[in-house]
Structure 1
């Protein structure tokens, strides 16, 4: 049985403008790989309702899981929760359990749970809350969409909370080999290898270091023996150039 697939939807004008560098995709990819879920697609969309809604619907239909980051804070441009509700035609309002978490957090820190902060308690009907041990404002899960904060430390905590409840597949393994030859010189062998090992992903990544052109080959999959066999064959094909 094939491993589950996932998609990530990164939401925010600040990502597209280059003002903020996204690190959440890198973290999510690694966490999903260890859990046996394949991150198959990533999209980045602006803070525009139509773009968010269309992406959520498409990704939710195409993949087993969708993870969003960004747009669930207290300001006017934090519109993700509303867009998720609209995408699934679900009502949204301040929910008592989410409000209680925020109230306890702000009481403990001596700050006011004002109207702006209450926006973070607006949850679509039928959604399950995602714990936020950092700042209390919860994410949520609606159908197969996991809605999480964009702040990396909070996103990472939410991912850990969510993954513990998801069924993954076999761990995705990988091995790599550096070959001191350009891609054009090894392409034929790689094509034959890919044909003979169809269950494996064989990636080719060119580099130049100290004036030497070379290629880093990464073989990924869930079949450890198959990866070993493919890597052994590749090494034997280029005995003088592999490292």
Structure 2
């Protein structure tokens, strides 16, 4: 983080051939973004990459030097194509070892010798890695340096991520307002409002009852600046005789 007023940055690596093929839809990124934002960490980029060791190594090494945190999802299960732990170990140039804490947890609920041997693959972690708790009672995730490896199954990831305490910066807040005009009607106003209020303004079109409408989202570390900017948006729309919806601010919803 360059300044105390900045948020920390994160990169998410979504690992899985099934995502790239379209067979499975990623359901984790939005949850991760919301969870990190509450701790003052902003996702600045996300990549979807295949279950290929060389690719995982390349992306882990590149992104861990560019961001405060790198979070990976997927590839830590019991099958032959679950190679995330092996790849991260290779990225850090450390051996892959069996973590006895994870192994003991797996043994405690495995009744079949055949399935046990496969499940014990989930106990492999890079040497020196710490563990990420899994509140479902299943195998842990792990972290090494600033790289955090978690499951790709949404229910399991959502039982891991809240157990991690990140060192974030100032939380980036957002406020949203629906206006019942098209983007082009207010584009110039939004540009001016962004510049004068030193906030980030985004506009997202939608249709309602056949009418073009826009959701305006204002982001800033400063809640007062968000509210002032949204008031400016309201005035710009209402001065044209058009209607607006309600303001929704993330700090009022949590």
The two structures share one fold, judged by TM-score above 0.5: yes
Question: Residue by residue, what CA displacement relative to the aligned partner does 1:43-97 show, whole Å, maximum 9, x if unpaired?
Answer: 1001111221111112211111111110001100000001101111111121223
8 A Cα contact 1:71 1:150, kept in partner? yes
Match of 1:210 in 2: 209
Pairing 1:1-243 to 2, within 5 Å after superposition: 1=4, 2-106=6-110, 110-112=111-113, 114-162=116-164, 165-198=165-198, 200-239=199-238, 240-241=241-242, 242-243=244-245
SS at match of 2:65: helix
Aligned residues: 237
Matches of 1:183 and 1:59, distance apart in 2: 35
CA RMSD of aligned residues (A): 1.5
The structure 1 segments of at least 4 consecutive aligned residues displaced by more than 6 Å after TM superposition are none
Match of 2:249 in 1: none
Matches of 2:233 and 2:62, distance apart in 1: 38
Matches of 2:83 and 2:36, distance apart in 1: 26
Unaligned runs of 5+ in 1: none
SS at match of 2:106: helix
Matches of 1:226 and 1:139, distance apart in 2: 39
Matches of 1:131 and 1:182, distance apart in 2: 47
Question: Residue by residue, what CA displacement relative to the aligned partner does 1:91-149 show, whole Å, maximum 9, x if unpaired?
Answer: 1121223222222333xxx3446321111111101100111232521110011011001
Matches of 2:162 and 2:106, distance apart in 1: 21
Matches of 1:90 and 1:201, distance apart in 2: 42
8 A Cα contact 1:105 1:135, kept in partner? no
Matches of 1:201 and 1:105, distance apart in 2: 50
How does the TM-score come out when normalised to structure 1?
Answer: 0.92
Question: Residue by residue, what CA displacement relative to the aligned partner does 1:194-241 show, whole Å, maximum 9, x if unpaired?
Answer: 21233x221110112211112110112220111111111111111132
Question: Residue by residue, what CA displacement relative to the aligned partner does 1:145-172 show, whole Å, maximum 9, x if unpaired?
Answer: 110011111100110111xx22223333
Matches of 1:167 and 1:87, distance apart in 2: 23
8 A Cα contact 1:93 1:122, kept in partner? yes
Unaligned runs of 5+ in 2: 246-254
SS at match of 1:189: helix
